[in-house]
Amino acid sequence: MIEIEDLQYRWPGDEHDTLSIERLTVESGERFFLRGPSGCGKSTLLSLLGGILVPDSGKVTVNDKVINRLTATQRDRWRSDNLGLIFQQFNLLPFLSVTENVLLPCRFSKLRLNRATSGGHTPVEEARRLLQALDLNPEDFSGTVGNLSVGQQQRVAAARALIGAPPLILADEPTAALDAETRDRFISLLLDEASAAGSTVLVVSHDLGMIPSFDRDMDLMSLNNNSSSVTSGDS
């Protein structure tokens, strides 16, 4: 699913490479955990995988597509079709309902809309199914986002990342705002649903407590040949 070869990336103005990765492979359907402290280049790596940043050299292949060879517009399109994203916190648009938040990717990607409705139901039904699968009650997702707890909000974000079964789900510290109990529940629900959808999951975090839930884990510090020289540029 993910194939990184001889990747090098340096933030403009920096003296040293932020990231220098010789090789990283993540298999399709794998649940992959990438650990590392803050400031080691995790978010930069995610941006490279998401096609927001382009490496200075090397190759980033995701789902058999060399994304660093696409144009900016092609990458935009590719991203909306192939990627589900979960951030640390405040993932949701406060002015949309819970269901509408979940449906957002289907509004920007026809492919994901088609996949979401392939089971013969409407997009809204699919969104509700996902929300319920992620242990949210119908009375929770009929209201506005603001009434939800942080844990519930993260599960709504997960449902949004999952809708339309994107081949790859990237999560950047998705449990940072959760306590240990809700964290474990969140991760297991996310991974179960991703498996059901056949999505590959890559989570980056410094929270080592959830490693047991994953198929494989790796330390970015050891992966990154230039980790000692990281100065700034991400969080």
**Residue numbers at the binding site for another protein (CB under 8 A):** 43, 47, 50, 52-53, 73, 76-77, 79-81, 85, 87-88, 90-96, 100, 104-105, 107-109, 112, 160, 172, 234
Nearer to another protein, 92 or 210 (CB): 92
Nearer to another protein, 38 or 108 (CB): 108
State in angstroms the smallest separation of the CB of 193 from another protein: 17
State in angstroms the smallest separation of the CB of 232 from another protein: 13
3-class SS string, 66-106: EHHHCCHHHHHHHHHHHEEEECCCCCCCCCCEHHHHHHHHH
State in angstroms the smallest separation of the CB of 113 from another protein: 11
| Residue 112: CB atoms within 10 Å | 24
Nearer to another protein, 111 or 185 (CB): 111
User: CA angle, 18 as apex, 16 and 20 as ends, to 5°?
Assistant: 95
Nearer to another protein, 58 or 105 (CB): 105
Sheet holding 2-9, edge to edge: 19-26, 2-9, 57-62, 65-66
State in angstroms the smallest separation of the CB of 212 from another protein: 28
Q: How far is CA 172 from CA 15, 71, 78, 106, 177, in A?
A: 26, 25, 19, 21, 12
DSSP state, residue 64:
T
Query: In the block, which residue shows the tokens 């297991």?
Result: 188
Nearer to another protein, 62 or 213 (CB): 62
State in angstroms the smallest separation of the CB of 119 from another protein: 21
Query: In the block, which residue shows the tokens 């410094």?
Result: 206
* Nearest C-alpha neighbor of 53 from the set 105, 18, 29: 18
